[in-house]
Structure 1
Amino acid sequence: MAASLLACGINPETSILFQQSQVSEHAELSWILGCLTSMPRLRHLPQWKMKSKQKNEGSVGLYTYPVLQAADILLYKSTHVPVGEDQVQHLELAQDLARIFNNTYGDFFPEPRALLSSTRKVKSLRDPSSKMSKSDPQKMATVNLTDSPDDIVLKIRRSVTDFTSEVTFDPEVRPGVSNLVLIHAAVAGCTVEEAVGWAKGLNTGKYKQLVADAVVQRLTPIREEIERLRGDRGHLERLLAHGAQRARELAAPVLKEVHHRVGFC
């Protein structure tokens, strides 16, 4: 994960990259926020309902995970958070908990706002009604950063579309083709309208090859950088350890003030 984030452009000089498990303040704040969270509030979050059904029974960790996410955000008094569309409701929980804490113990946490990109949800290549996910059991459904060019071409060639050969953008009527257009626009750095324009005169089969080529071009340098970074595990471990130290320096005084406000010290 660290190698992937760095390869995608995260700069450790301007961003703090660390393992959450190495900063205990996250878990401590999560417990305190959990005392302010009602059971029905968590029960109605869509990811809990979906994942608990997939696993037949949900664990306490899965149930309370959104509270930990809220702690991750509030611990650094974040004002804006980049999220995918499926995580907006979890961010709203963080906003609610900030508001509840402030109303109970005095103004302290800012209410974080969502930063959404134009491609805030990439859909599955096999089921365009659901999001693309690394945990999808269908391996052909997801393009991974470490996929080879041949794997990327094969996955996009086999992506679900429809029986209309012309390329148009209509997510409601043509979700599969529209998903490819969104992917194309994202990796090419263009608008949806421009992507559709480039597809003029192409049937969906040929457009899939165009999209695959664009994805390969965009991801190849990232994949190569991931492989290079993975070759120096010591560098990654040192970088994460330094990031954890920097994170603790920010988190400790916030948690200390939280302790004071709730009466722990």
Structure 2
Amino acid sequence: MAASLLACGVDPKRTLLFRQSSVPQIAQLSWILGSLQTVAQLQRLTQFKEKATKFLQGNVPLGLFTYPVLQAADVLMFKVIRQVSSRVRSLRNPLKKMSKSEASAKSRLEISDSAEEIEEKCRKAVSDTNAQLSYDPQARPAISNLVSFLSNSNDYTLLN
């Protein structure tokens, strides 16, 4: 995974890469945070509700149920602000975040995707019927998502 990230252009001078399993404090903090949550609180989370519908008769794996707590521990442990992840949207539904758990592989770009696969996925991404190119995430989320990809991959700055 580290080699793939470096090959994608992640700058090792500006980025800390580590194996989560080699930091036991993350699991410990996750346990503490989990002890402060109720089942009802976790069941109300949008991510859980969306993914839980894929399982029959409520047979939802515990890992899926407690995963948001582990994510919170990850963020809190290192005081990380995930600015980029909040902007990366699905190629199939720009109102949702891009996610590896999405059923369609065409909804996301994978680190292991070839240049041809990335080009194909972006070509088939949802856009809209307006011929004008503009950036307006509220009115035109689909095309704005693609403009964001172009901007980020070419070091352009988006001006609203």
Q: When the two structures are superposed, what TM-score results if normalisation uses the length of structure 2?
A: 0.77
Q: Which structure 1 residue ranges, 4+ long, deviate > 4 Å from structure 2? A: none
**Residue number in structure 1 paired with 2:53:** 53
Change (3 A) 1:167 1:66: same
**Residue number in structure 2 paired with 1:228:** none
Q: Which runs of 5+ in 2 are unaligned?
A: none
**Between structures 1 and 2, the one with greater helix share:** 1
- Distance in 2 between residues matched to 1:14 and 1:70, nearest whole Å: 20
**Residue number in structure 2 paired with 1:81:** 80
Q: Does the CA-based 8 Å contact 2:91-2:121 persist in structure 1? A: yes
Q: Secondary structure at the match of 1:125?
A: coil
**Residue number in structure 1 paired with 2:64:** 62
Counting only pairs closer than 5 Å after superposition, residues 1-265 of structure 1 correspond to structure 2 as 1-7=1-7, 8-9=9-10, 11=12, 15=16, 17-18=18-19, 20-56=20-56, 57=58, 58-74=60-76, 76=77, 78=78, 80-83=79-82, 116-117=83-84, 120-193=86-159
User: What is the letter of the counterpart of residue 88 of structure 2?
Assistant: V
* 1:8-40 CA distance string (max 9 Å, x none): 42538973512x334444334433332222233
- Offset at residue 73 of structure 1 (A): 4.3
- Offset at residue 181 of structure 1 (A): 0.9
Task: Determine what percentage of the aligned residue pairs are the same residue.
Answer: 40
Higher RCO, 1 vs 2 (CA within 8 Å, ≥6 residues apart): 1
Q: Number of aligned pairs?
A: 157
- Offset at residue 192 of structure 1 (A): 2.0
User: What is the letter of the counterpart of residue 142 of structure 1?
Assistant: R
Q: Which runs of 5+ in 1 are unaligned?
A: 84-115, 195-265
- Offset at residue 120 of structure 1 (A): 2.8
Change (3 A) 1:33 1:158: closer
* 1:92-118 CA distance string (max 9 Å, x none): xxxxxxxxxxxxxxxxxxxxxxxx24x
Change (3 A) 1:24 1:172: closer
Q: When the two structures are superposed, what TM-score results if normalisation uses the length of structure 1?
A: 0.50
